[in-house]
């Protein structure tokens, strides 16, 4: 596989297996928004995520992973995450280039594709209080459940030290 090809769901699962991280995946119709995914709540327990791919004034990129119903004050979040000035949403091209995913499939598991360390990953403290966290496995037609501590372990294994901060209102 060429170096610049994003990793697939299967690559992700093999990586998790190699780390000895337990994970469970439920396949479903593609979902592009939190609202579309609500129907899955009964069959998939744990904390469900929404992800905000943002950049600051110095073009530093961040992925905020928060509980799906949480509110994030985008006018103030830079003061919590250490960004330079107010943040704005990152472009879809950068999302694909850095995390290997399309809008609607954004996920903390994108860390596996950020081999150059272009993105700072921020996990909301409230979400990380959940025993199990649910994320898309690099595509929005499935949801993968993983222990919150194992999500941190996964990120560290990809070369990222995620920030666990309270970024929600």
Give this prediction's pTM. Answer: 0.92
pLDDT in tens, 7-22: 999 999 999 999 999 9
Q: Is residue 106 part of a domain?
A: yes
pLDDT in tens, 80-116: 998 888 899 999 999 999 999 999 899 999 999 999 9
Please check the confidence at residue 118 and state whether its pLDDT lies above 50. yes
Find the mean pLDDT for residues 126-130: 96
Query: How confident is the model at residue 131, as a pLDDT?
Result: 96
15 or 38, which is more confident?
A: 15
Domain containing 86 — which CATH number?
Answer: 3.90.960.10
Q: Is residue 48 part of a domain?
A: yes
The band of 1, judged by pLDDT with boundaries at 50, 70 and 90, is: very low
Report how far apart, in Å, the C-alpha atoms of 101 and of each of 61, 70, 107 are.
15, 22, 8
CA distance 118 to 94: 10
Over the chain, what is the mean pLDDT? 92
Q: Is residue 4 part of a domain?
A: no
Q: Is residue 3 part of a domain?
A: no
Q: Is residue 1 part of a domain?
A: no
CA distance 48 to 135: 7
Helix and strand numbers, DSSP H then E, in the chain = 6, 8
Query: How confident is the model at residue 3, as a pLDDT?
Result: 58
> Which residue's entry shows tokens 């809008």?
103
CA distance 142 to 31: 9
Number of domains in the chain: 1
Q: Is residue 79 part of a domain?
A: yes
Percent pLDDT > 70 in the chain is 96
Show the domain range for 104.
9-165
């Amino acid at each position: 596989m060429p170096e610049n090809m994003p990793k697939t769901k299967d690559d992700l699962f093999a990586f998790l297996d190699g780390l000895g991280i337990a994970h469970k995946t439920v396949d479903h119709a593609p979902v592009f928004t939190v609202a579309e995914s609500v129907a899955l709540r009964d069959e998939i327990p744990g904390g469900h995520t929404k992800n905000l791919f943002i950049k600051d004034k110095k073009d530093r990129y961040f992925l905020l992973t928060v509980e799906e119903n949480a509110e994030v004050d985008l006018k103030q979040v830079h003061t919590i995450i250490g960004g330079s000035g107010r943040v704005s949403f990152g472009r879809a091209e950068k999302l694909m280039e850095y995390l290997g995913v399309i809008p609607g499939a954004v996920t903390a598991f994108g860390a596996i594709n950020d081999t150059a360390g272009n993105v700072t990953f921020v996990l909301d403290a409230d979400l990380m209080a959940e025993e199990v966290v649910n994320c898309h496995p690099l595509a929005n037609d499935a949801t993968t459940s993983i222990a919150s501590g194992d999500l941190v372990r996964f990120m560290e294994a990809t070369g990222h030290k995620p920030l666990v901060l309270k970024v929600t209102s």
